[in-house]
Chain A
Amino acid sequence: MRLPAWSELHEEQRSVLEQPLDQGLFVVGPPGSGKTSLALRRAQMCARSRRSCCVVTFNRMLRRLLHLLDRQSRRDGSDTRPEVIVRTMDSFVGEDWRKRFPDDDLPDYPSRLHDWDARLERLAGSLTDESGWSHIVVDEGQDLPVWFFRYASIICGAVTVFADEEQAIRSDVSGLKEIKQAAGLPDPRILTENHRNTPEIARVAEHFHDGRLPAARVVRGSGGEVPRLLRLPDTRAVAAWVSRWFANRGGTVGVIAEQNVAVEALRNAIGERLPSVTVKSYTHSSANEGEIDVTKPGVTVLNVNSAKGQEFDAVFVTELERFLPCESAQERRRLYMMCTRGRSHLFLVQHQSHPLREVDHALPAPEMLRLP
C-alpha cells in the first residue's frame, strides 16, 4: 500500500484526517473504504506529536499488516517520528491489567472472559494516574467485545474507533450503538466510498454479489483496464502468464487458488520463472504469517481463506471452475471478496479443459469482462 498524493486523498478521507488529535472519533464504513489506512494515519499523527498512542486490533494478521505499513511509510519518509505501537486486544489488555494489578490472575486471552463488570469497576476505582496512553485507536472495532471500549475509555482520554457493522465475524461482538455508548464517542462519521478498486473491478465483483452491497460509490478513477478472463491449459501456462505480467507491470501480484496443492504447484512454477523475484505462498494451515509482506513488489500465491484482508495491485483468481457457478450466498460473498482484493487489475483464470456452460452463464457480460 502506497501513500496517496494529496490530490488523490478524497473528501471523506481528508475530513477524517482533519479531526483534532486530542479528541475521540468514531468512523464507520464498509470494506474498501480505507478504514485501516485511516486508522494507521491517525495513529501516526499522534505518534508524531509525541502522544503515546496504541493501535488495537482483533487479530494478529491485521496487527502485522499495520506494523508493516507503518515501517514502510517511515522508510520512505526518513524522518524521526516514533514507530506506531500496534497490539492485539488480548495482549493490550493483558499487559495493561498486569501492570496495574500484578497479583491478579488474568488468563492469557482476556477476550474469552465474559464477565468484566467487576473488573471494570475495580479499574475505574483504582485509577491513580493516566494509564500512560494518551490515545487509543481501534481498528475493526465491530470484532471486539463491548467491555473493551469501556476499558479503553476508562484508562485513556481519547479513543478513536473504526468499525463496520456488516463485517462482524463473531457472535459476541459489538453493535455500533453499544460501542458509541461504551467508549463515550461522538456520532459516527459514515464512510461510503470504495477507495480500493477501480470501477472496472468493482463492477465485476458486484456481479457476483447479490445481497446488499457493502461499498457504495467507487471513487477511484478509472484505471482504464477492463478485467479479463483467461482460459489456460495448466499450471505451467498460468505461471507463464503471471510471470509475463509481472515482468511488464511489476508491483504486487496476488494469485489466489482454492486448494493448498494448487497453491504450492503455482508457487513452484512461478518461482522457477522468476528466480530473482520474491515469490511467496501462504495457506491458512501454514503458520508463516510472519513472512508475508505484501507491501513489497513480488508475487504472493495464497488460498482463499488467507486472501481476506489482503490487497494487491493485480489479482489472479485461478481455478475459477471451482468457484463458479455460486450455489449459496456464502459462495457469492467469497468470490466477491477475492475479486475485490485487486486494486487495479483483475484476472479470472479458467481451466481450458473445463469449458462448462454453467460457468460461462455465471460470468459477467463481455463489456465488463474481456473474454479470450
Chain B
Amino acid sequence: MVNDTTSDRPWFGLVTDYRRLFDALEGGWLRPSAPGGQHLGVARFIDDESGKTESETLRVGIRIEPKKLPPIPVAAFLNGRWGSVPVGKVSGFGYSHLRWPGALPAFAFSRIVVRSDEERDRLLGLAEATSNLVVPQVAVESNAAIRREAVRAESSPTPPALELPRHLDAHHGAMSMAVYYVPRMEPWLRLLEASLDPQFKDLSQRADDLDAGWWKAPPWAQSPGLAPDTLNDLLWRAAAEVFRQDRTKERPDPRSLAGDIHTRARRMSTPDVNDQLQGWLTETERILSTEQEVLVSKWRRNPVGLAIQLVLTRPDPWRFSTWLSDRPDLPPGVAWSAAALCGLLSGYRRLEARLRGPEWRREALAIHAVRCSASGDDLWRWPSPSEPAPHPERNGNELHLRWDGRCILKRNRSARDSWLDADFRLSGNVMRAKELARRLRWSCLFWDLKLPEGRARLRGRGEVNIVERGGERRIAVADGGVTVRFDREPSWTEVFDERRFRRCILTETGLVDVRPTPVRSIERSDAPKARGRSERVAAVPGLSYSRDFISVAEERELLDRIEAHQWDGRMQRRVQHYGWRYDYKARRVDESQRLGPLPDWLDGLASRLVDAGLMPRKPDQVIINEYIANQGIAKHIDARTFEEHVAMLSLREEWPMVFKKGGRGKKGTGDYHEHVLAPRSVAVLGGPARWDWTHEIPKRKKLPGSKRDRGRRVSLTFRRVIRPGEAGAAVAEQRSSQDLSSATRPPRRGLKGRPSRDHLRQRYAGKLI
C-alpha cells in the first residue's frame, strides 16, 4: 500500500486495460466503455468491461479527481436505486457508483494503480517506448485494493450525454503547438492571448499590428472571422479547413493536400486572386518535387503561403521542429503560423510529450480546446476561470503566460523583446539598431540628401522626373540612373525610422536572439557595473582607462566611416575635425569655426561616454588623428578652450602614450608613466592628468614588447568647447567634477615646487593642441 496525502480526498475509480489508459493519455480523453457512459466506483475501483478480455496483459486502476470534472448532474447508485445527483455531491453520501455520461478528461487522473513492481516497470517501460505519453503517478497497491467489482446493467436515468466536439483533436493540437512555439516577444504573446479569448477581444487589432492579419481567425476558431479577398486570408482559411479534417489513418500526400487547399481557396476567392493562388500552387508543387527550394527571403509576398509550404515539406511535428533549427532566421509570424497549422494537421494525439508541456498547460488547453470546438449550448462547462484567457507577463528576463494564477508557459525573453523597450534617446542604441538593420537588410534606414540651392550638371543616360502622387513629390530616375555634380558639398544624413525598426524587430527575418542587444539606460541598476569597468591609473592622478569601450564590429564600422570621409593632409599626420574646426595656431576655437553638430555616428559615441560616466557633459568636438609607423605627437597639454575632461578612443593597434609630470618626468621615476592604449579602449584625462601632466605618443618603430613594426593607429579625441556665453558651464563642470571623484578644477596657482599652470603654458605654448 502506498500512503500519501491524496488518499483521503474523494475519488472515483475504474479498472481497465492498460491500452485503453494509453489511448486516453494520448488523446487527452478516456472514451466511455459503452454508449451510455462510463461506470465509476465512488472511492473504489469498479470494472464495467466484464466479458471484454481480448488483452488481459496488464490491467490498471485509474483514480479520478471529482473536482476536475465539469459539475453536471450524473446518475448515481444508492441502496439499490439510481438517482440523479450533481457530480460534486456524489462523494460522502453513501453512493457506491455512478455513471459518467461521456468521455473523461485525462488530466483528472490523479493516480494509476497496478498490483506489482513488475507491472509498474512494464507500464512505465511501455510508455517510454512511445514519444507522446506522459503517465501520471503510478502506485502499487495490493490485489484487494483493485476490486474488480462488476456493475449490473440496470436501467438508470439518462443524463444528457457529453459528446466530444468534432475537430477537437485538431484544435487541441494547433493550440498546443501555438503555445509551445509562440515567438518570445511580448506582443506575440498578447496576440496569443487574444486568440485564446472566447470573445477574441482585441484580436484583429493585435493581429494587424504584427502584420499577421490572418490570425483574426485562429486555427481553432469555428466561426471564421476572415473576409477572404486577400491571398493570405484565403490560404489561411482553406488550409485550416483542409488540415482540421479528421485523419485517423496516415496523412495523404502533401501534393494532394496542396491541391485541396488550392481548390477550397479557389471556391471562396474573387477572380482577381485566382492568378496568385495558381502561382502559389505551382511554386508549392515545384518545392514538393524538389525543383526549387523553399524561398524564405521573399516571405512578405505571401507569408501564409510560405507557412503552409513549411508544413507540407515537413508535416510531422517532430520533423517540423527541425525547420526551426535549420532556419532559425524564419520570420517569427511565419514560423508561428506554420507551427499552429502543423498542430492542426497532426492533431494532439501525435504530439510528442515535450510539445504538450507541463501539467497545468495540458489541463488548461484540454479544457479550452473543448470550449473552442464545442458549438451551441454545450455541457462542457467547468467552473469558469476567473480569467477568460491566459495573459502574458514580463518577469525579469522571462516571459510568462499565466492563467488563473498558474504559469502555463515560461520562456526567456528574446533579444528582440529587449529591443522593444530600448531607450532610443541613448544614441548608443540608435547606433546598434542601425548596425542590426544594415546587417539584416531591414528597411528602416533611409538617407536624406540635402541639395544645395543652385544648378547642378546631370551626367549619364538616365531620365529624371518629379512625380506627384497623393500630395507627395518623388524623384523618379529611369533608364539606368544619373550622376549629379555639385560645386558645393551636398549633405547626407542617415535617418533611422524607429517605428519601422520596431515593426522589423517584431516581424522580420533573422534570429529571434538578434545581436547586438540594446544598451540599458544609465538610470538602470546595472549602470554602475558599466562604469566600474573603467579603472583609475594610480600613477597619473586623474587618468582613467577603460578597455573594450566599443566592440570589434563597432571598431570596424567606425574605421569604415572614418575612411569614407575626407582626411585633412596638411599636417604631418592626417586629421579630421568634427563639430568645431580647431585652429592649431591660434590654439582656440570660436563661433566662426563651428562645423555643426557631430554626425550621427560620432554623436552616438559621445553620448555613450556620458552614459558610461566617463565624461560629465556630452562632448561636441572630435578630432580624429591617424598615426602611421613611426609617426607620433610631441608632449602637450590640451588647450584650455576645452572643458576639463578629454576622452581618447584608440583604434587598430596598441601604441603606448607617455605621461610626464610637469612635462619633464624622467623614465624610471614616479613622474613618468607609460600607458599602452589598447585598440577599442578609452583613456580620459581629468584633474592633474589634464592640467599638470603632459601626454605624447613617442616616435617608435616597433609595437610595445614586440618585434612587429608599427602599422597604423587611429585615435578619436572627444572634447567639449567652453563657450563664452555658457555661464553655467563652469558651475556644471564643478559639480560634475565632484561626481567624478578623480577630477579637480585646474589649480589657480602652481603647487609649491612645481611649475605653475601659466609656467607650463608658456613652456609648451607652441604645443598646446
Contacts and interface: CB of A to CB of B under 8 A. Distances in A.
B129 A5 contact: no
Contacts of B314: 249-251
A223 B315 CA distance: 11
B87 to A, nearest CB: 29
Interface string B348-386: 011010100000000000000000000000000000000
A44 B130 CA distance: 12
A223 B250 contact: yes
Contacts of A8: 350
A48 B121 contact: yes
Contact of A18 (B126, B250, B318, B350): B126
Contact of B322 (A14, A15, A250): A250
Interface stretch (A239-247, A262-270, A353-361): A239-247
A247 B293 contact: yes
Contact of B122 (A20, A247, A248): A20
Main secondary structure of the interface of B (DSSP, over half): helix
B129 A248 contact: no
Contact of A248 (B121, B256, B313, B318): B313
A44 B121 contact: no
B19 A21 contact: no
Interface residues of B, number: 47
Contact of A224 (B256, B322, B323): B256
B247 to A, nearest CB: 10
A186 to B, nearest CB: 15
Nearest to B18: A18
B537 interface: no
B132 A48 contact: no
Given A49-B118, A250-B319, A44 B253 contact: no
Nearest to B119: A20
Interface in B533-589: none
Contacts, number: 123
A49 B322 CA distance: 33
Given A6-B22, A224-B255, A244-B292, A45 B122 contact: yes
A225 B312 CA distance: 12
A286 B672 CA distance: 66
Interface in B1-43: 19, 22-23, 25-26
Interface string B55-74: 10110000000000000000
Given A224-B251, A248-B287, A9 B322 contact: no
Contact of B323 (A6, A17, A20, A250): A250
B133 A6 contact: yes
Given A6-B130, A250-B326, A251-B322, A18 B125 contact: no
A167 B131 CA distance: 30
A3 B118 CA distance: 23
A22 B118 contact: yes
Contacts of A48: 121, 124-125, 128
Given A2-B318, A249-B313, A21 B26 contact: no
A244 B122 contact: no
B19 A14 contact: yes
Interface residues of A, number: 41
Contact of B57 (A6, A18, A220, A224): A18
A5 B130 contact: yes
A125 interface: no
Contact of B250 (A77, A222, A244): A222
B250 A221 contact: yes
B253 A225 contact: yes
Contact of A6 (B58, B132, B251, B294): B132
B131 A245 contact: no
B126 A17 contact: yes
B290 interface: yes
B733 to A, nearest CB: 55
Name, among B23, B121, B290, B326, the residue most crowded by chain A CB atoms within 10 Å (CB to CB). Answer: B290
B130 A3 contact: yes
B252 interface: yes
Contacts of B293: 244, 247-248
Given A5-B130, A22-B118, A45 B125 contact: yes
A152 to B, nearest CB: 21
Interface string A222-256: 11110000000000000001001101111100000
Interface of A: 2-9, 14-15, 17-18, 20-22, 41, 44-46, 48-49, 73, 76-77, 79, 81, 220-225, 241, 244-245, 247-251, 297
13 contacts: A5-B26, A6-B25, A21-B118, A45-B121, A48-B121, A79-B128, A221-B249, A221-B250, A222-B253, A247-B326, A248-B288, A250-B319, A297-B326
Given A223-B253, A225-B254, 14 more contacts: A4-B129, A5-B130, A5-B131, A5-B132, A5-B349, A15-B55, A17-B129, A76-B354, A224-B254, A224-B255, A248-B287, A248-B290, A248-B313, A250-B314
